[in-house]
Every structure is written in structure tokens, then in C-alpha cells.
Structure 1
């Protein structure tokens, strides 16, 4: 989002070698072309980057201070907790026609247990229970708090699939914005360190430009990380191109029957299932397969005892079997704030009839991309402890500053009293246009939503803007 009034005089010296020396204006034309693309990418991206940064900070601090779904409700320890089944009965009794779906164990002895109970209409209710007295402390609709409002805005503008596509487009164009911004700001005289130090003595627009460029340089690597990790959750680039090739292969389960359902069916609204497992089929109950698991009755108490025996400590989630082939699913992952260590992620499936362990999936079993996403999503969400909350907050504030300073520079550069974008002019004789086309094709193939947007902009520019004088003046 850096906007120059002219290319640096020394640009030809480092952009294009001998060819630039033969044609000093060549580097300037390249610079102006990059500036124009940077400008238009910024026009589209800035509103969405502001939304992402603000909602990201909301989620960071709400999760740290208050949690979500009542997970930080305090209780007074009074000896040993009562059986989980007794707590569950108290939770179900508060919801007319209730069906128990999920149990979330307390993170520590002084916190409440959480139960998800679906009512007669299938609406999910969260019931907060004191584990020592089996007393219901609170009940509310699932995913109805401010955290979830921000989460839905952050992932899809609360517009469903269309919102997901818009956010994916903004993130994809953000990579174009980042690349062109680095090209515009990088010093042409060979002294690279200058790009990392703002010129605080500058005045007016030059002061804004210096701060904008320097902050952009400092957070460039982090911005690329956040864009890529966020895109990996998107509906097109993530699910269709990346996630499908990086999922946990069901063949690693061994010789056990599989359900027609995939792990993503356990997502109820926002993403909850580890990225590497979403598209992997669930095991199915009802066979003789599996390893020794529950001892005694195969009920919620027996499965909870198994969870503790095999190493689940503190907070973990227990999903009850749904349907005749459903399984008990024990899970703990940093994305769901169960732990602060993504390498401890673990999902265990238990046959609902025999109590045998059908699958025990750990971080070490993920593909390389699955491991990268397990760590990346934890970093992206700031679930690694207070240090990650503070670091992500600083990053979000930097993104907000880049957006605000980009608008400030445009405001100072625009023609006074004129209501038009005043975009940087495209050079009439664009050098290396074949290379630009090749880069555009690569970007379009790598990030389809960015490619569709770039093609649409070029088409509108050619068919409409360039042929209607009033529109041409407004967008020039």
C-alpha cells in the first residue's frame, strides 16, 4: 500500500542490468506499473484487512480473558468430582428433549465442565456444570458469544460461502499487494538497511510513506505467513488444492471399517477439527477390529477413564457416537485451545460397542503439510500462551497502521476537490509485458480467486472503463 509520486532516479541502476542502462526510462515504467497494481490491490484489500485485524484481536483477547462456551467458569474444588455420567445427566435434564453430544473436560480442578446438549429441534445448547456438585451453573446457545461473532466475521464476513470466497480473494490479492509493496520500497542504491529504518524527520506525505514502507518491510514475512495459513482454511485454495493432498490417509488406520462420514462432520459452525483430519473418513463401529480399550461398561464414564489412562490430562473433548456406526472420539488440539502445544495433538476413536480403540492419531502421524498447519494455525490463532497473544496483537495493530497510512497517502496525493481514485497511470509502453503476463498466470494458477479477480478487473477495464469517459476519469 505504498504510493510513490515518481520512481527513484537510481532505479535503473539496479532494475534490469544492461538493458536498463540502455533505457533509463525502462525501470521507471516498471516501477509505475507495479505502483498501479499495488494501488488497485490496496483499494480492494484495505477494508477486508481492517476487518481481519480487528476481529483477530477480538478473538485473541476474548479467548485469553474469558474463553468461549463457558470454559473459564470458576468453581470451588470440593474433594473428588462426581462421575461424568452424573454431571451429564444434570446437563441433559436442563434441556427439554435434550440429547448429549459432547463433553469438554475442565482444564484445571477449579474450572467447570462443559456439555453440549442438542434440544428437541436440534439446536445446540451449552451447559456449564460444577463437576463437584453436578449443579448446572449456566446454559446458553452454542457459539452465541462475541468470540463466535468475531470468528464468523473473520472467516466469512457472516455471509456463508460467498463471504468465504470474498475473504479468500482479499487474502490472495494481499500476496500481490505484499510483493509489489516490497518492490516499490526496496532501496535502489544497494543500501538495503535503509528500508528497515523510517525517516522520522520527513514531513507530510513523505513521513507517512516512510513509516508505511518500513512497517511493511518489518512485518512482511509475518504477513505472508498469516495470509498463507489463513488461505489454507479457505474453500477453494485450501480445501480443493492444498488440504485434499495433505490429509491424513485413511490407509494408515490399518484394517478397520470406515464410515461414509468424514471428520469435518464434527465441525459445527467454525472450524474445530484438526486441519489434517477434516477430509479423512471416520472409522466405523461394529466390527471385531481394534486394540484393547475400555475396561468394563462402554459408557461415558468408561471412555473418560480410558482417556485418562492413555494420557489425556486436563482439558480434552469427548464426542459421543452418532448413529449405528458412530464412534466415541477423544480429541485434544491447540486449535481448540485444549493445549498450548500443537505437537501434542491427538485424536482417538473408540468402537461404541466393543470399546476397542480403532485409531490413535497423533501429530507424528500427520503429513509434513499437516504438521506445518497444526503449528501454523496455533501461531495464527495465538493459542500458544500469552506471548503469542501479545505478538499477534502487535501484528494486527501493524496491519491496521498499514491500512490507515495507505489511505492517508492517497488522501494527500489525490487532486484537491476531485472525487476520483487518482490511480497511478499505467505506462503507455510497458516493458517486459510478456513477463508480467507469465507472472499473472502463475499467480492465477496458484491462487484461483486472485486470478479470477485479476481477469475480471482487466475485462472491466477493457470493456467498460476505457470506453466510458466519465468512468475513465473517475477511476483514472
Structure 2
């Protein structure tokens, strides 16, 4: 009798285990389905705009070759002369940035802001000093693709939508891996195999599952590195906690402006971990002299009435009777510091600084270990702050190294591989949509979601999922909580909606 009872208990236990297994499978499938259906348009958008941004240099050169290309000569004109020529041509403009030519056959660039607010690059032949032409920075295909990629051209709301999509993308990957890994004979049949003789649906399923499974960690890398730029998870948590502490700069006055203020539009030109860090300030010598009543005349400053620890007056420009370090001297200083390819941001106020920036974020360099941002006092030429790879924390190092890979900047091979990744992600998105379309009930006004498999404890799993997600990815957790609330408040009370969405 006891053996019969034990046998019955064993059968009951097996049935319970099978029921639990089916519940987990169908629950995971439903999560994967709903997340995937929401993500399809975002995956397509991110991949397509990513392809445009990968070929930014090639697209820009084909559009503006006539104003970018120069014939190399043996000698160049001083950059200060080139700058004066630009300011003479655009007398009402303010100059914000100088970008040295990356190769001898390309022109130097000066970024200026017109009185209309438009920002343009003025290209100058460094060998003759002559202005070649201009490029409207707002007309860049890269900037347009980047704006769509980051905000859908909807501002903050677009940024939130993309952050929700990327956050749900993490759920899509986790559930997808669970569905992909073999559990029984049925799932083993298509694991790392492409069945070509079992019909189009099985073929598509095997391609979708195996490509998605094999590239899951690649896609996770793209999601995480992208989320680090997002407003909530990135801006409020990860980037804020990873920002370089300006307090590390000893005896340096701080501005009210942060490093992100030097970006032009949506172009990310400053290192990720410095964007939220406050800028240092130059000592405003004119204000100091006026305050002490010892203002020095313009003529005296021009004749070198300066302390011995400053740069010679003949390498400076004068304004308000106070000598400022000229751009030629700053560029000589950059060379002495070891900078090769970089951007030079010019002071934008009387207390602004010169900023030499060479980083993987803006594509200046491809080796993140050479990242460097140096701030120089515009009056004395003294280095106020110098941040290198060694000062980056682990997350900042991940972003500096990761963004170069993300953008395909490391090498030609990196760019080719990223193109293949984008095409693979496009296929995964489209194949997921096609599979849903094939399996949906024809002629019925229903969504065709995977069937429910009821099991005790569903509320516990749902609650734990929301709590974990809310801690790790706030917008994903909040979105799921909102959907569950709408489901409880509306969908479960309207039978037609309940049928249609299942």
C-alpha cells in the first residue's frame, strides 16, 4: 500500500514539475513576444540610423569634397592668420572651435556661430590661408541620424521612448536566450542548426533563434552602451555616479558650465565621464586689475609688461587691456604635451578656457588609452586641469573603449563587422515580425500572443520582476508596472480587449 502511495506521490510530483516547466516556458515566451512586438520598429530604426552613422566620414566627403580637399604643400600659414581670415569674412560671428586637418590633403576647420544662431564649419587651406568654403553643421546626415537614433526628433519624450525600448531589449535578450537554449528534444532539434526541409516557418525560426542567440551578447553591449547616454538610467544614475569629480583639480576656480556645454548640437564631442563635470575657469585678469585699481594700459600690455612666468606677449592677442595667449602658442603647447589629432575648443567668455580634447567619443582617436582632455588658462597659458585614461573609473573606461567599437572607429574590420551586426539585427527584427504574422490566427481580430499557462505563484514572479527591473532599469520596470495596472484596470474588465490582446 505504501508503495502505491509513494508511486502516486512521484507521479504527482512529476506532473507538478512538468506544469511548472510549461508555465515558465509560456510565461517567458509571452514576455519575449510582447517585448519583441514593441521593439521591432525601434530595432529597425536604431540599425538603419546606425548604418548611416557608420559611414559618416565617407558620406560627408562625398557631399563636401570640393570644400574639404586641398593639395599638400611644403609649408603652412600660421593658424592665427587663418583664424583672422575667417573672422574678417564673418565679422559678426563667434568662433568656438578649431579642428586641425586629420591628413595633409584635407583642410583645417574653424567652427563659428553666426548671429542667426546657425553653426557652420569654415574650411581653410592651411597652405595658403585662403577660405575654401563652409559646411552647415545642422545639415549633417550624421547629426540627423544621431538625432533620430537618440530622440526620434521628439526631444525628451523621444529619449524616454528609446530608453524604454533599450531597457525592454535587455528583457528580450534574457528571454530569448532562455527560449533558445535546449531543454528537450524539440528545442534541441533547432539548436545551432538550420533546418531547411521543414518548411519556411521552421527555417525562419531557426535563423531567428540562432542568429539572435549567437549575437545576444553583442546586442547587449549595444543596448548597455546606448543606455549610458539615456536621460534616466544614464544621466541620473550611471553617468552621474561615474562623472569625474572636479574637486580633484587643486586650487582651480570652477565654472557654472559643464563639459557638455562645449558640444555642438547633438554631437557628443566630450568624453562621457566629463559631460556632467563642471569646467574650470581662467582667472579674469581684467576684473582683478580693475578691482585693485592697477589696470594696465593696452599699450603696456602690447609691449610685454607681464610677469616672467607667462607666455611672451608677441604670441598673444589683447582685449580690454589684458593679454591673452594666442592660438599659435596653444597649438605649440598641445604639441609639447603630446597631442596629435584633437579638437581645440576656444574660450567662450572672459573666464573661459582653452580645451584640448582627444577622445574616442568624438572620433579624434581610436585608442581609448590615449584619451586626454586638457584645460588651459587663456591668460597665463597655465594647465588648469588634465584628465587622461588613468583618471577614468571602470565604467568610464568601458564607455571610452566601447564607444569606439560601437561606432566602428577602431579599424576597417571593426566597421565591416558592425555593418554585418546592423544587418543581422535588421533581419532579427523583421523575421520576428514575419513569424508572428505567419502564426497569428487568420480572420480573427486577435493579437495572436503565445497562450497562457496558468500556474500558482504568477503574481510573485511578476512582483519580483518589477522590483528587480525597477532597481536596475527604472523605465522598464515602470513601463511593465503601468501595463499591468492598465491590464487590471481596463483590459480584464473589457472582454473584447482581453480576447484581442491575447
Q: Same fold (TM over 0.5)?
A: yes
User: Who is 1:231 aligned against?
Assistant: 227
Contact 1:29 1:430 in 2 (8 A): no
Paired residues, what number? Answer: 455
SS at match of 1:140: strand
**Contact 1:69–1:143 (8 Å) recurs in 2:** no
What secondary structure, in the 3-state scheme, does the structure 2 residue paired with 1:336 have? Answer: coil
TM-score (norm 1): 0.90
Change (3 A) 1:104 1:250: same
Task: Determine the structure 2 residue equivalent to 1:11.
Answer: none
Partner of 1:468: 494
Corresponding residue for residue 59 of structure 1: 53
Mapped to 1, the partners of 2:85 and 2:426 lie a distance apart of: 46
Task: Identify the residue that residue 306 of structure 2 maps to in structure 1.
Answer: none
Moved more, 187-196 or 75-84: 187-196
Match of 1:147 among 120, 142, 147: 142
How far apart, in 1, do the equivalents of 2:231 and 2:122 lie?
Answer: 32
CA contact (8 A) 1:69 1:126 kept: no
Q: Give how far 1:114 is off.
A: 0.7
How big is the shift at 1:69? Answer: 10
Return 40-49 or 190-199, whichever deviates more: 190-199
Where do residues 419-434 of structure 1 align in structure 2 (5 Å cutoff)?
419-431=445-457, 433-434=459-460
From the superposition, tell whether residues 474 and 432 of structure 1 become closer, same or farther in structure 2 (CA, over 3 Å): closer
| Residue of structure 2 in register with 1:10 after alignment | none
How many Å separate the matches in 2 of 1:331 and 1:68?
Answer: 27
Are residues 1:250 and 2:246 paired? yes
Do residues 262 (structure 1) and 288 (structure 2) align? no
Q: 1:69 and 1:334 mapped to 2: Cα distance?
A: 24
RMSD of aligned Cα (Å): 2.3
Larger mean CA deviation between 265-274 and 428-437 belongs to 428-437
Paired residue secondary structure (1:335) = coil
Contact residue 32 and residue 172 of structure 2 kept, 8 A: yes
Shift of 1:468: 1.7
Match of 2:213 in 1: 217
How much has 1:432 moved relative to structure 2?
A: 5.7
Q: Partner of 1:336 in structure 2?
A: 362
Q: 1:19 to 1:383 in 2, by over 3 A?
A: farther
- Cα separation, partners in 2 of 1:468 and 1:293, compared to 1, 3 Å: farther
Query: What is residue 276 of structure 1 aligned with on the other side?
Result: 273
Kindly indicate whether residue 419 of structure 2 is the aligned counterpart of residue 393 of structure 1: yes
Q: CA deviation at 1:436?
A: 3.9
User: Hey, what does 1:357 align to over in structure 2?
Assistant: 383
2:443 corresponds, among 398, 405, 417, to 417
TM-superposed CA distance for 1:329, in Å, is 0.5
Aligned to 1:458: 484
Query: 1:130: how far off?
Result: 1.1
Instruction: Give the conservation status (yes or no) of the 8 Å contact 1:229–1:377.
Output: yes
* Aligned equivalents of 2:89, 2:51: Cα separation in 1: 34
Structure 1 residue 194: Cα displacement: 6.0
Change (3 A) 1:68 1:371: farther
Task: State the match for 1:14 in structure 2.
Answer: none
Which of 305, 312, 328 is 1:301 aligned to? 328
Q: Aligned residue for 1:33? A: 27
Q: Which moved more, 1:351-360 or 1:415-424?
A: 415-424
1: CA distance, partners of 2:406 / 2:365: 15
What SS is found at the alignment partner of 2:117? coil
Is contact 1:294-1:306 (8 Å) kept? no
Partner of 1:49: 43
Q: Is residue 163–residue 475 contact of structure 2 (8 Å, CA) maintained in 1?
A: yes
Q: Distance in 1 between matches of 2:232 and 2:366?
A: 29
Aligned match for 1:326, one of 338, 352, 366: 352
Which of residues 85, 91, 110 is equivalent to 2:80? 85
Q: Displacement, 1:91?
A: 2.2
Change (3 A) 1:415 1:200: same
* 1:61-109 per-position Cα deviation (integer Å, ceiling 9, x unaligned): 1235546996992210122110111111222333351111110011111
Is 1:371 aligned with 2:397? yes
Q: Indicate the larger mover: 381-390 or 397-406.
A: 381-390
Q: Which has the larger displacement, 422-431 or 297-306?
A: 422-431
SS of equivalent to 1:236? helix
The residue number in structure 2 matching 1:203 is 199
Quote the offset at 1:173 in angstroms. 0.3
**Does the aligned pair in 2 maintain the 1:257–1:287 contact within 8 Å?**
no
**Are 1:334 and 1:345, in contact at CA under 8 Å, matched by a contact in 2?**
yes
Gaps of 5+ in 2: 1-11, 286-308, 317-324
Q: Secondary structure at the match of 1:466?
A: helix
Give secondary structure in 2 for the equivalent of 1:424: coil
1:324/1:26 Cα in 2 relative to 1: closer, same or farther (>3 Å)?
A: same
Secondary structure of the corresponding residue to residue 415 of structure 1 = coil
Deviating more after overlay: 398-407 vs 331-340: 331-340
1:311 corresponds, among 338, 345, 355, to: 338
| Farther-moved stretch of structure 1 (21-30 vs 360-369) | 21-30
- Structure-2-length-normalised TM-score: 0.86
CA apart distance, 1:362? 0.8
User: CA separation in 2, counterparts of 1:360 and 1:239?
Assistant: 23
1:287 shift after superposition: 7.4
CA distance in 2, matches of 1:118, 1:69: 21
